[in-house]
Amino acid sequence: MMRKPCRPLRYMVMLVSCLFVQALFTTIGCANSSVQYDALLKSEYAQLIRNERVDYAALEADSESARAATERTVYLTFDDGPSIHTEKILDILADEQIPATFFVLGERVERAPDTVSRIIEEGHALGNHSYNHRYEELYSSFGGFWEQLLETEALIHSQTLTSPTLVRAPGGTFTNFDAFYYQLLSTAGYTVVDWNVDSGDSKRKGVTAQEIIDNIKRSVLHERAVVLLHDGPGHSATVEALPEIIAYYREQGYTFAALDDRQPRPVQFRIGSSKWEREPLTFAQYKHWMKTMTDHQADKGDRTAQGGQAERVEQGPYRTSSISTHIPSKGPEELAALASSEAQTDANKSWKEDAQASPALQITVNGLSLSLESGQYRFQRDRFAVPFSFVSEYLSGRLPGYGEGGNLLLQTFSRQAVFEPEANLIIVDGLNGFKQHYISDVFIEDGEVYVGLRMAAEWLGYTITGFTIGGENHQVILQKNIIALPFEV
């Protein structure tokens, strides 16, 4: 006579069956969600590929409600700083008790970090204006714009522990941005801001203060006036005109405010025919970029919730160890030949000036402290250049290889780069074919290729989370990013 299974065994069978059914429905649900998500992306892509913004109708509605609900407000915005003029502008704003917005360049943040801190400390808004303002690098592909955005954001965060979400495109978005730029930046949590009042202070060299004031007074009096001004080098006339500009808007009954990404629709130009010959994104590229943007926004949200992960070096002890690296001069004979070329001789001059006089450079990579002694790295205008062999060995975990004509090879998990020092060129073979990137801080000296530390770190997926310049040692802290890299697409 067959015995019935015992109750525990029956319960176990039932439990396993239930778990199997649950897993099956979960799998089906995930598959359906994935299909729905792809369908949504395809619908967006069909609109974007026609250069039509996905969010424009909703933004127009927000704009109408904003015009009806807000009082007359003027937003003074300053581009291309910080510079010596920024300090004078901050003095005027402090005297007048007026907030403003500063869209800063990363390369100038490196030169005037204390001014950036002052902007935040005195209650003004800070925005991202790219790293170097070079149009061709920014608008030849979205990847170029994204790379500079991240680099400047890292610089600002390392100095202020803030990560601005306001972005202004150099030259404005009209004919520079397409619908993909807007969509991707919005997905990543950024607010792009143009202007509706142009002071004309950058139309040509030698613009006078009176011309700037006259341009302002001839402009339309918008309910929300976003005024374009500049605080970069060569804009002393803007400083001179600023008190009268402030007085004029006060006479017109305006209140002054700093831009805020939580406000209704920002002032943005309509999309025009692009003056750049960009290859349109494929759907696969768009899908990959959307994941990168979503991950980036989530990462920033986590960092904000935790109160910020980066810590300025000045606010805490710098971790050191006894590890010291000796970087030998190595490379094929072609490198020595390249180093004697006229172009390379000119490129080396500024970097060689302080080579022997500089203190040691301590670089902390994910908690591991490394040291380059004076003469093993180059330093000029607050920028570091380190041997290519150091970058390859300690930032990528691979030794460099050499190609034809003295070119250098560097590999990561998903891409390969060929460095051509003579042409200041990096050719990247990534997930979606070849791309070329022109760089300025690569040179050859005594048979060794030197590369800019910041450029190399960003390319390999690191963020500079702290630094000090001067004193007994220069110090730089690098942390590996967890988000997708700009060159991956």
Element (H, E) at 159: helix 142-160
Average pLDDT, the chain: 76
The C-alpha angle with vertex 19 and arms to 15 and 24, in degrees rounded to 5, equals 150
pLDDT tens digits along 127-169: 999 999 999 999 999 999 999 999 999 999 988 888 999 999 9
pLDDT tier, 329 (very low <50, low <70, confident <90, very high otherwise): very low
Structure tokens at 123: 């209650």
What pLDDT was estimated at residue 34?
67
- Of the pLDDT bands very low, low, confident and very high (cuts 50, 70, 90), residue 449 is confident
| Alpha helices (H) in 70-131, listed in sequence order | 84-96, 106-111, 113-121
Res 444: pLDDT: 73
**46-55, 129-138, 319-328, 406-415: the lowest-pLDDT one:** 319-328
pLDDT at residue 113 is higher than 80: yes
Measured between alpha carbons, how far is residue 191 from residues 185, 263, 319 in Å?
7, 10, 37
Instruction: Confirm if 338 and 421 have CB atoms less than 8 A apart.
Output: yes
Burial 317-327 (b: 16+ CB within 10 A, else e): eeeeeeeeeeb
pLDDT at site 74: 97
Higher pLDDT, 62 or 421: 421
Decide: 114 and 423 in contact? Cβ < 8 Å. Answer: no
190 or 433, higher pLDDT: 190
pLDDT of residue 405: 52
Lowest mean pLDDT among 115-129, 252-266, 451-465: 451-465
Domain boundaries, the chain: 56-305, 313-488
Q: Which residues carry out catalysis?
A: 79, 230
Average pLDDT of the segment spanning 64-73? 62
Strands 368-372 and 462-468: unpaired
Q: Which of 3-12, 77-86, 442-451, 456-465 shows the lowest per-residue confidence on average (mean pLDDT)?
A: 3-12
Task: Find the mean pLDDT for residues 451-468.
Answer: 76
pLDDT for residue 210 is more than 70 = yes
Residue predicted with more confidence, 385 or 138: 138
Between 419 and 208, where is the model more confident?
Answer: 208
Q: Domain 56-305, CATH 3.50.50.60 — does that match?
A: no
What pLDDT, in 10s, does the model give residues 269-287? 999 888 999 988 999 999 9
Residues 80 and 62: their CA atoms lie apart, in Å, by 29
Q: How far apart are the first and last CA of the chain?
A: 68
Partners of 191 in the β-ladder: 166
Q: What is the mean pLDDT of residues 65-70?
A: 49
pLDDT top residue among 9 and 463: 463
For residue 113, say if its preceding peptide bond is cis, omega within 30 degrees of 0: no
Give the pLDDT score at 359. Answer: 84
Alpha carbon distances (Å) from 180 to 53, 147, 184, 266: 8, 16, 6, 18
CA atoms within 13 A on the CB side of 292: 21
Q: What is the CA radius of gyration of the chain?
A: 26
Q: What percent of the chain has pLDDT over 90?
A: 43
With a cut of 80, say whether residue 366 has pLDDT above it: no
Band of residue 352 on the pLDDT scale cut at 50, 70, 90:
very low
CA distance 418 to 405: 11
Is 327 a residue whose pLDDT tops 50? no
Whole-angstrom Cα distance, residue 4 to residue 9?
A: 10
